[in-house]
Structure 1
């Protein structure tokens, strides 16, 4: 099984290629939770995610014949970029199979780093199947995203940095997709201090590990559905799972909505952009997916920041909705002069700010002497929303909340 010596050897191999990323105390999140929260900002890694560590370590161990034949892998995006950059730096040809719906930004980044992107399949597992076909057809070495001890050792170097930079750490919180990251981190921190708690987090729409962890056997999902595309795998790998069973203390889940809130807070409070998978560990802390004590030193590992710009807009709106700072309503007005002014006056009196108004006199859903109105409103929290909706309904408006 993976050992501390493997992780330490990986650190030596990759030292010139990867960054030692910051670990910073967060006053905001410590105040919000009562814990002593330090953020491991792997978002500042080259390629924007932790995957470069494992990919660099794996490619460094290739034989000369393997280097000549090139490598192939499958990835939803971050491992793709890590392998592409690591291979290019080492003078090795790389071919990367990505799901057809992978974010455009990640596809383009993979190609900029020198990899050949091949789009195939609906998700990671289908992309992986095609990558193995290429492995056999072209004689390339397959660089697994997580089910490889050399890759796991590379990811585990994060654990070494966490303990060195925050020796008082009590709990490390790690996102889990295939399991390579948490297996590597758990190996490192538990070898240094067995009392450090390691908590794994998955999103409900891709949560294969809780059942696997409970039964001791790998459980595979039929499909996955989550905004956290970086951890959207149907099951954990066999090699990581062997480590997880022995060295991970607890596995919990969060929702996409909780993840969106954490992502929004990270932008606002820490000025840090993360992808869905990167926000998952903080979401587990903010929404108390596991128990912790006041003053407990917790390190959420923010594993990546490569979020597609289009998805970012959607996630931020969802985060604002969940925190009560965005409201979209629909109502019907009499089609007469001043009707819209009367409605807007009630909203402005409650100090709510209107983003947009859609006023439709031709809608088939209303009578001919009525107008259908949708309004996007900036609000200041759930209590403010309740106050505004009550005022509108007391004034006789039938209000439908759309978001």
Structure 2
């Protein structure tokens, strides 16, 4: 496996700096009152395309040679990775094909097309990867959503920013889909501050990392049943499993209802509108608050905000949240 190191993350930061936002890390006093300890939020939902995904996409694409750039890229995604790849490709002038399952929410399909990518709709995620392999055989470079050292290094740049803006952080909570984002953050943060505790969180029905940790190897989920579709990787990789297994304190799994309550609390107390994939970090914080030391300083990575008001209202009705 190609190594992901502090050096490769710093190189990624220099490479992508002209193209991505340095998102703010903001203290939240209302959350502090709720949790009983100081809290900052890393606002990756303000990133281009509404999530952290352009970081890794830009780093991967900027690493291509001239012939690879001319041939274009292909990605598989039913969520934020699609938007991130499409955005980065448009800015860099690359042709992008994004293969999506037909069940992908329409806002992601429309957003990806609006960024200029060609969208290919297929029956399911297995068919999507098969089509991406066919596109790869025709010459396009696959931009994997999480199992690519260039992508992971790009995502890790947010860890460098977080420590610069909140150097007294003792605990970080990050959500997990395929594990690329948390793997990059782990690599950056632990190289600089090995004492920091990092906690992962998944939602029930999108818990590929938890199942892999229990089994000792990646496990393919038969279906993604969580509303947190942006956490819906069918499995993690050997690479991301190894990084998480070696460095994360624990991966918590929370119900969808708690993730939606987290979204609502973040609207009310942090004044940001997030996806359930970010709302679940607050759900995890509520579970951890009595387990953390009294001098803990907590950071929540709010990974994305690609959600509509109608989505939130539908989820609140489904789970009886007033």
Query: Shorter chain as normaliser: what TM range?
Result: over 0.9
**Is the 2:101–2:128 Cα contact (8 Å) retained in structure 1?**
yes
> What SS does the corresponding residue of 1:304 show, helix, strand or coil?
coil
Point out the more displaced range, 218-227 or 170-179: 218-227
Which structure carries more strand by proportion?
A: 1
CA distance in 2, matches of 1:48, 1:40: 13
Alpha-carbon offset, residue 36 of structure 1: 1.3
Given candidates 10, 13, 16, the residue that maps to 1:14 is 16
CA distance in 1, matches of 2:302, 2:119: 26
> What SS does the corresponding residue of 2:316 show, helix, strand or coil?
helix
CA separation of 1:135 and 1:110: change in aligned 2, threshold 3 A:
same
**Is the 1:263–1:316 Cα contact (8 Å) retained in structure 2?**
no
Q: Deviations over 1:89-116 (max 9, x none)?
A: 1111000011212121111111111111
Q: Partner of 2:185 in structure 1?
A: 185
CA distance in 2, matches of 1:218, 1:290: 31
Q: Deviations over 1:115-161 (max 9, x none)?
A: 11112233x4442232222222x321111000000000000001101
**Is the 1:75–1:145 Cα contact (8 Å) retained in structure 2?**
yes
CA distance in 2, matches of 1:187, 1:98: 30
Given candidates 63, 77, 80, the residue that maps to 1:78 is 80
Indicate yes or no: 2:253 matched with 1:242. no
> What SS does the corresponding residue of 1:127 show, helix, strand or coil?
helix
> What SS does the corresponding residue of 2:251 show, helix, strand or coil?
strand
Alpha-carbon offset, residue 308 of structure 1: 4.0
Q: Partner of 2:225 in structure 1?
A: 225
Q: Partner of 2:43 in structure 1?
A: 41
Q: Partner of 1:132 in structure 2?
A: 133
Q: Deviations over 1:24-70 (max 9, x none)?
A: 11111111111211111101001110000000000000111111111
Alpha-carbon offset, residue 182 of structure 1: 0.4
Q: Partner of 2:34 in structure 1?
A: 32
Q: Deviations over 1:326-355 (max 9, x none)?
A: xxxxxxxxxxxxxxxxxxxxxxxxxxxxxx
Runs of 4+ in 1 over 4 A off after TM superposition: none
Normalising to structure 2: TM-score of the pair?
0.95
Q: Partner of 1:152 in structure 2?
A: 152
> What SS does the corresponding residue of 1:253 show, helix, strand or coil?
strand
CA distance in 1, matches of 2:110, 2:128: 17
**Is the 2:51–2:306 Cα contact (8 Å) retained in structure 1?**
yes
CA distance in 2, matches of 1:290, 1:9: 38
Indicate yes or no: 2:113 matched with 1:102. no
The alignment of Structure 1 onto Structure 2 pairs a total of residues equal to 320
> What SS does the corresponding residue of 2:68 show, helix, strand or coil?
helix
CA separation of 1:8 and 1:293: change in aligned 2, threshold 3 A:
same
> What SS does the corresponding residue of 1:239 show, helix, strand or coil?
helix
Q: Partner of 1:67 in structure 2?
A: 69
Structure 1 unpaired stretches of 5+:
326-403
**Is the 1:23–1:38 Cα contact (8 Å) retained in structure 2?**
yes
Q: Which gives a bigger RCO, structure 1 or 2 (Cα 8 Å, sep 6+)? A: 2
> What SS does the corresponding residue of 1:299 show, helix, strand or coil?
strand
Alignment root-mean-square deviation, CA: 1.6
Q: Partner of 2:53 in structure 1?
A: 51
Mapping of 1:243-282 within 5 angstroms?
243-282=243-282
Structure 2 unpaired stretches of 5+:
none
User: Bigger radius of gyration, 1 or 2?
Assistant: 1
Q: Partner of 1:366 in structure 2?
A: none
> What SS does the corresponding residue of 2:108 show, helix, strand or coil?
helix
